[in-house]
Amino acid sequence: MAKLNTIVAILIFAFSLGAYSQTTTWEVSADQAAKKNPLEILPKNLALGRNIFKRTCVACHGEKADGKGLIQSTSLIDEKFQKQTDGVVFYKISTGRDKMPPFGAMLKEDEIWSVINYLRVLADPSAIPPPKNVKLELTTGEEIKSITATVLSADSAKLPLSEVDVHFYVKREFGLMRIGEMSNYTGADGKVKVFFPEKIVGDSEGNVTLVVKIENNFLYNDNETTNVKKWGMPLLSHEGEFSRRALWGARDKSPVWLLLLANGIIAIVWAVIVYVIYNLFRIKKAGRIFFK
Amino acid sequence: MTDLYRKEIEIKKEQFQYLVSDLNSPLNRTGSSFKIWIGFLLLLIAMAGFMYVRQLQQGLGTTDMRDIASWGLYIADFVFLIAVSLVGSLITAILKLSNVKWATPLTRISEIIAVAALIAALLIIVVDMGRPDRLWHIFVHGRLQSPIVWDILVVNTYLVISILLLYIPLIPDLALLRKTMGHKPKWQQKMYKILSLGWQGTEEQFRIMNLSLTALMVIIIPVALSIHTVTSWLFASTLRPGWDSTIFGPYFVAGAFMVGAATVIVTMYVIMTNYNFKAYITDEHFDLMGKLLVLTSLVYLYFNLNEFMVPAYKMKSGESAHILGLLVGEYSVLFWSVQILGMILPILLLIIKPFRKPKPLMIISVVVVIGAFLKRFLIVTPTLLHPFLPVQNYPESYHHYNPTFSEIMITVGSFAGIMLIISLFIKLFPIIPVYETAHEKGFPNEIINNS
Q: Where are the domains of chain B?
A: 23-232+247-285+404-450
Q: Does B239 contact chain A (CB < 8 Å)?
A: no
**Closest residue of chain A to B145, computed from CA coordinates:** A247
User: What ipTM was predicted for this assembly?
Assistant: 0.89
Distance from CA of B199 to the nearest CA of A (A): 6
Note whether A99 and A139 are same-domain residues.
no
Last residue of one domain, picked from the residues A127, A160, A182: A127
In-domain check, residue A183: yes
In this predicted structure, what is the pLDDT of residue A8? 54
Q: What is the mean pLDDT of residues A2-24?
A: 53
Note whether A244 and A189 are same-domain residues.
no
List chain B pLDDT tens, one digit each, 451 residues.
577 788 888 888 888 888 888 888 888 877 888 999 999 999 999 999 999 999 999 999 899 998 888 999 999 999 999 999 998 888 888 888 888 888 888 999 999 999 999 999 999 999 999 899 999 998 888 899 999 999 999 999 999 999 999 999 999 999 988 888 888 889 999 999 999 998 888 888 999 999 999 999 999 999 999 999 999 999 999 888 889 899 999 999 999 999 999 999 999 999 999 888 998 999 999 999 999 999 999 999 999 999 999 999 998 888 888 999 999 988 999 999 999 999 999 999 999 999 999 999 999 999 999 999 999 999 999 999 888 887 777 778 888 899 999 999 999 999 999 999 999 999 999 999 998 888 888 888 777 777 6
In this predicted structure, what is the pLDDT of residue A69? 86
Q: Cβ(A87)–Cβ(A97) under 8 Å?
A: no
Q: Does B186 contact chain A (CB < 8 Å)?
A: no
Instruction: Kindly report the pTM of this predicted structure.
Output: 0.72
Q: Where residue A248 falls among pLDDT bands split at 50, 70, 90? A: confident
Q: What is the DSSP string of A83-135?
A: TS-HHHHHHHHHH-BTTB--GGGTS-HHHHHHHHHHHHHHH-GGGSPPPB-EE
Q: Is A65 left (phi over 0), alpha (psi -120 to 50) or beta?
A: left
Report the number of distinct structural domains present in chain A.
3
d(CA A164, CA A170): 20
Contact A286 B212 (CB under 8 A): no
In-domain check, residue A112: yes
Residue A93 maps to which CATH number?
1.10.760.10
Q: Which of B288, B293, B289 is nearest to B256 (CA)?
A: B293
d(CA A76, CA A88): 13
In this predicted structure, what is the pLDDT of residue B183? 84
Interface test with B, best of A279, A285, A291 (most B CBs within 10 A): A279
**Closest residue of chain B to A247, computed from CA coordinates:** B145
Note whether A105 and A41 are same-domain residues.
yes
Note whether A108 and A138 are same-domain residues.
no
In-domain check, residue A14: no
State which residues form the domain around A51: 28-127
Q: Where residue A115 falls among pLDDT bands split at 50, 70, 90? A: very high
d(CA B59, CA A25): 40
Share of chain A above pLDDT 70, in %: 90
Last residue of one domain, picked from the residues A127, A153, A173: A127
Sheet with A165-172, edge to edge strand ranges: A175-185, A165-172, A208-214, A223-229
Q: Between A169 and A48, where is the model more confident?
A: A169
Note whether A197 and A115 are same-domain residues.
no
Contact A279 B212 (CB under 8 A): yes
Interface test with A, best of B155, B197, B435, B450 (most A CBs within 10 A): B197
In-domain check, residue A22: no
Note whether A155 and A91 are same-domain residues.
no
Residue A24 has pLDDT above 70, yes or no: no
In the three-class reduction of DSSP (H, G, I as helix; E, B as strand; rest coil), residue A141 is classed as: strand
Q: Cβ(A283)–Cβ(B209) under 8 Å?
A: yes
Note whether A76 and A163 are same-domain residues.
no
Last residue of one domain, picked from the residues A98, A127, A156: A127
In the three-class reduction of DSSP (H, G, I as helix; E, B as strand; rest coil), residue B240 is classed as: coil
In this predicted structure, what is the pLDDT of residue B192? 93
In this predicted structure, what is the pLDDT of residue A45? 82
Contact B198 A284 (CB under 8 A): yes
Looking from the CA of B82 toward its CB, the CA atoms found within 13 Å total: 32
Contact B143 A250 (CB under 8 A): yes
Interface test with B, best of A247, A253, A276, A290 (most B CBs within 10 A): A276
Go through B336-345 and write b for each residue having 16 or more CB atoms within 10 A of its CB, e for each that does not: eebbebbbee
Q: Which of A170, A101, A104, A174 is nearest to A138 (CA)?
A: A170
Q: Does B435 contact chain A (CB < 8 Å)?
A: no
